[in-house]
Structure 1
Amino acid sequence: MQLYPLFADLTDRPVLVVGGGDVAARKSAMLLRAGAKVTVGAPVLVPELRELAQQGRIIYRAGAYQSDWQDGMWLVVAATRSRPLNIRIATEGHAQQRLVNVVDDPALSSFQVPAVIDRSPLLVAISSSGAAPVLARRLRERIESLLDPALGSLLQLAQRYRARIRARHTDLASRRRFYDWLHDGPVHALLRVSQPTHAEQQLVTALSRREAPNIQGSVALVGAGPGDPGLLTLRALRALNEADVILHDELVSPEVLDLARRDAIQIAVGKRGGGIHTSQQSIHALLLEHAQAGHRVVRLKGGDPFVFGRGGEELAFLREHGIACEVVPGITAALACAAYSGVPLTHRDHAQSVRLVTAHCQHSLNTLDWSELAREHQTLVFYMGVSKLDDITRQLLAHGRAPDTPFALIENGSLPTQRTLAGTLAALPVLAAQHAIQAPALLILGEVAALAGASHWHGEWLGALPRHGAVAANLANAA
């Protein structure tokens, strides 16, 4: 180990930064966050540093570097563009037994500034010993995505109650169980949903008991997005890494499931071979069973839980049974498929509203107001409608939608196997059959779908509309 890891308390301690450019500004800002008394020396300052000096937040020494600038300093940072000057600063600092950092020059430095993940009071520092700082920063980005922002609030709360926790749980094993509960139980969950007062009440109540409370189960209704794992939210990724049990739909891609905790139990609750479905009642029973067993459960849904995902039903059921739960939104198929096919769902000249419609069964089609859906200058997005394209086309034409209304039919949206079929409404069923479009596929219908020809960028293009700008130009001229 070439470097000795060290976290320095710089509160009210003097630190010198030599240099007045952007790098010096970044270093000064970080030192100020750590509570240091920062002196910046340079002939001129960038605007950010000038503003800090005017506000009295830093001391400014104007002019060329002088050796006595280092007098009384705890740390010195050399952030100039002159290596001879940086060598001088480092040499003089080392002679006075100062800790010196020369930016991007580990050979001259006696300490290095790591890539930092800040969940104060929790700090995670990553160093490549100066060998590859860019890779250290990339690693920081990965770890950052896994650490819940609420961890900082949790640690602050635990810090305030540390003496009381130790007094109540003098036995080390009991204390460990209590801290496990603090992290995995309702206190952390309440902080995560911005309820700090309620979280503290839970902690105080738990401390009034002699034994450490049992860890209660919880459920997170998580949107997995359209399939591309890169479209998962950071909160969804953290939930997958914390889950003991994952109940997932058929449309959740294997690539998304690969991001889950390796030892988590994965239970498929979507469509099975032979057309058999897991009933909603069975899903409710599984959620309740695992949550009551103390597990952290993720109900993983394609797209967004609250857009044709029955998330509302599951949330109500869990609340009725007293199960702690949260909802992690996902990117719904309408947004993802439109974006990956280059179709703007709204356009100031062509579509002032968007309607999301489910077409998964005949009953749902019979309840729709087709005269409203047939109006122009709106975008229609049909979910689960591949098997009903004949009915959709017939109803829209019968209620006055123009036969030449453009459509875009996107199969396997956002995945490497995405195909985009574009054409006009009258030809929709025939074109879909010719190209053997299969579920999952999303239908976007309206004037904006014509823009797919000019803007399509992902996956295979099957458009009956031109790939070039002619359609977009015609629409613009018409407007």
Structure 2
Amino acid sequence: MPNRDDQLSAFPAFFRVEDRDVVVVGNGDEALAKVRLLLNTRARIALVADAPEAALTNLVIQNNIRHVARAFEPAHLDGATLVFAATGDAAADRAIVDAARDRKIPANAVDQPDYCDFYTPAIVNRAPVAVAIGTEGAGPVLSQMIRAQVDQLLSPSLGPLARLADLYRGAVEHVLPRGATRRVFWRRFFSGTVADAVNAGQIADAEREASRLLKTMETIEGHVWLVGAGPGSEDLLTLRAQRAMMEADAIVYDALVPAEVVAMGRRDAERFSVGKRKGCHSKSQDEINDLLVELGRAGKRVVRLKSGDPLVYGRAAEEMQALRTAGISYEIVPGITSAFAAAADFELPLTLRGVASSLIFTTGHDLTGDILPDWASLAISGATIAVYMGRTVAASVAERLMQAGLPAETTVAVIENASRRDKRLLHGVLGELPGLEARDDLGGPVMVIIGDAVAGANFTHSEPLAARLPAVAERLAVSGV
């Protein structure tokens, strides 16, 4: 469930006001601002003002606005679609809102956000395209600042381009099949030669390019992106990953991918949770492979969303092989692997000149056999070791590395939920690491980083492992391991 602080108290929406009555009540600057705002629309504006100031009177005359030159009466609101109470008098504005509510008409009391049925946004107008920025009444100046930035980003030709698209909408629905083919057409329409011609003011050329594009559009085949979702924080998702997610008809995601990241995909995309978390595998790898092939053969554009980077302990090789065998196109979208996010949280140099020139990624499971892996000798010579899924293998990793000759005093960093707001940092030495397995207060994914370079980390915001040394660690310490 989303954090309450991340939820809006007002649902953003656009009211239909063309050829409908919108009433503004007031004589001064507040009413003037609302009338100017409404002139961006095709509403029938009515101003109720018994003594309008000169600037407001001039605006009414210049724009042929209906003026009710009387003191406000509730009957003035009859038949209205929206009402703005803009007298500058808080009590009078509340009375106007009450009269509107009696008639089931949404109303806005200027500068009284707690007495509004809707809020007035800052608007970037590229009709028929509009961008509305709201702060739920908390910061009108902030919304105006954002409006100025957005206004600079959007081309003045966006409106004519949208109007041209509206002319082609019926033909596109008639000629092109619903789904990916239509979306690709519109993406090319809005970002290719059609948009270039409109931007240059050459509307006839734009129409010719649009017709050519429609005639030459081919049916879009299924395609799969193997996307790295990063370590968990949604703002570490790459731009390429975001673009793929906005194109996808289906999103297939692992349990370790946070809901906030999954929600960044297209709102109408199908979503398939496939588990793949220790202890709660909802689908086997073969079932996941079959699902990707099935979706691809159905012509779907599919994002396979994996925690971290898909090529680092993501079992991407098996999925790529299944897609190749089925003849379905795919591509890899790299992500930030958890080791890098964990190091960033600790301000920890994974390589350090004169100390550590090598970096090892491992899950630690290859240390549980009888034969010590080749990389263990690198660890002894100073390489930094990043252990994924580190809590469950902490004891075996520490024991085998110390048996191989790595000093028990070697610095270690432990990170739970790397990159996320609920991350937790711990630090200690290799001899204390076995106790990690017995800690039931670490429920999220844990990364362990070991090596001399770890001593260069910033431990200001981390807690010592030794602060809670469980019995298992004490036993290992007593036994001399």
Please state which band the TM-score falls in when normalised by the shorter chain. Answer: 0.5 to 0.7
1:303 alignment partner in structure 2: 308
Which secondary structure state, in structure 1, belongs to the residue aligned with residue 392 of structure 2?
Answer: helix
Q: For residues 28-67 of structure 1, what are the structure 2 equivalents within 5 Å?
A: none
1:353 alignment partner in structure 2: 358
For 2:315, give the aligned amino acid: R
Displacement after TM superposition at 1:174 (Å): 5.1
Displacement after TM superposition at 1:352 (Å): 1.3
Displacement after TM superposition at 1:328 (Å): 1.2
Q: For residues 253-268 of structure 1, what are the structure 2 equivalents within 5 Å?
A: 253-268=258-273
1:222 alignment partner in structure 2: 227
Q: Distance in 2 between matches of 1:415 and 1:127?
A: 30
Q: 1:237 to 1:366 in 2, by over 3 A?
A: farther
Q: 1:433 aligns with which of 432, 438, 444?
A: 438
Q: Distance in 1 between matches of 2:234 and 2:298?
A: 30
Q: 2:147 aligns with which of 136, 154, 159?
A: 136
Cα offsets for 1:224-269 (capped at 9, x unmatched)? 1011111111121222222221111111012212222222221111
For 1:401, give the aligned amino acid: L
Q: 1:273 to 1:383 in 2, by over 3 A?
A: closer
- 2:181 aligned with 1:181: yes
Q: For residues 378-457 of structure 1, what are the structure 2 equivalents within 5 Å?
A: 378-430=383-435, 433=438, 436-452=441-457, 454=458, 456-457=460-461
Q: 1:323 aligns with which of 324, 328, 331?
A: 328
Q: 1:214 to 1:367 in 2, by over 3 A?
A: farther
Q: 1:326 to 1:137 in 2, by over 3 A?
A: farther
Displacement after TM superposition at 1:312 (Å): 2.8
Q: 1:363 to 1:288 in 2, by over 3 A?
A: farther
Q: Distance in 2 between matches of 1:284 and 1:253?
A: 22
Displacement after TM superposition at 1:359 (Å): 2.4
Per the normalisation by structure 1, the TM-score is 0.55
Q: Distance in 2 between matches of 1:387 and 1:375?
A: 22
- 2:380 aligned with 1:375: yes
Q: 1:456 to 1:286 in 2, by over 3 A?
A: farther
Which secondary structure state, in structure 2, belongs to the residue aligned with residue 442 of structure 1?
Answer: strand
Cα offsets for 1:38-93 (capped at 9, x unmatched)? xxxxxxxxxxxxxxxxxxxxxxxxxxxxxxxxxxxxxxxxxxxxxxxxxxxxxxxx
- 2:463 aligned with 1:461: yes
Which secondary structure state, in structure 2, belongs to the residue aligned with residue 386 of structure 1?
Answer: coil
Between 1:366-375 and 1:323-332, the stretch displaced more is: 366-375
Displacement after TM superposition at 1:137 (Å): 5.3
Per the normalisation by structure 2, the TM-score is 0.55
Q: Distance in 2 between matches of 1:176 and 1:446?
A: 58
Q: For residues 50-89 of structure 1, what are the structure 2 equivalents within 5 Å?
A: none
Q: 2:337 aligns with which of 332, 338, 342?
A: 332
Q: Distance in 2 between matches of 1:363 and 1:246?
A: 35
For 2:308, give the aligned amino acid: G
Structure 2: 5+ residue runs without aligned partners? 1-34, 41-122, 134-140, 155-160, 162-167, 193-211, 468-481
Superposition RMSD in Å: 4.5
Q: Kindly indicate whether the alpha-carbon contact (under 8 Å) linking 1:225 and 1:303 is maintained by their aligned counterparts in 2.
A: yes
Cα offsets for 1:185-230 (capped at 9, x unmatched)? 8x97xx99xxxxxxxxxxxxxx9x9996433221111111011111
For 1:225, give the aligned amino acid: G
Structure 1: 5+ residue runs without aligned partners? 6-113, 118-123, 145-154, 156-165, 193-206, 466-479
Displacement after TM superposition at 1:278 (Å): 1.9
Count of equivalent residues: 316
Which secondary structure state, in structure 2, belongs to the residue aligned with residue 387 of structure 1?
Answer: coil
Q: Kindly indicate whether the alpha-carbon contact (under 8 Å) linking 2:393 and 2:437 is maintained by their aligned counterparts in 1.
A: no
Of all paired residues, the percent bearing the same amino acid is 38
For 1:268, give the aligned amino acid: S
Q: For residues 229-268 of structure 1, what are the structure 2 equivalents within 5 Å?
A: 229-268=234-273
For 2:434, give the aligned amino acid: P
Cα offsets for 1:334-373 (capped at 9, x unmatched)? 1001101221111113211211112257778957225424
Q: Distance in 2 between matches of 1:277 and 1:364?
A: 28
Q: 1:362 to 1:180 in 2, by over 3 A?
A: closer
Cα offsets for 1:79-128 (capped at 9, x unmatched)? xxxxxxxxxxxxxxxxxxxxxxxxxxxxxxxxxxx9999xxxxxx99799
Between 1:426-435 and 1:230-239, the stretch displaced more is: 426-435
Displacement after TM superposition at 1:281 (Å): 0.9
Which secondary structure state, in structure 2, belongs to the residue aligned with residue 374 of structure 1?
Answer: helix
Q: Kindly indicate whether the alpha-carbon contact (under 8 Å) linking 1:351 and 1:448 is maintained by their aligned counterparts in 2.
A: yes
Q: 1:127 to 1:389 in 2, by over 3 A?
A: closer
Q: Distance in 2 between matches of 1:384 and 1:228?
A: 18
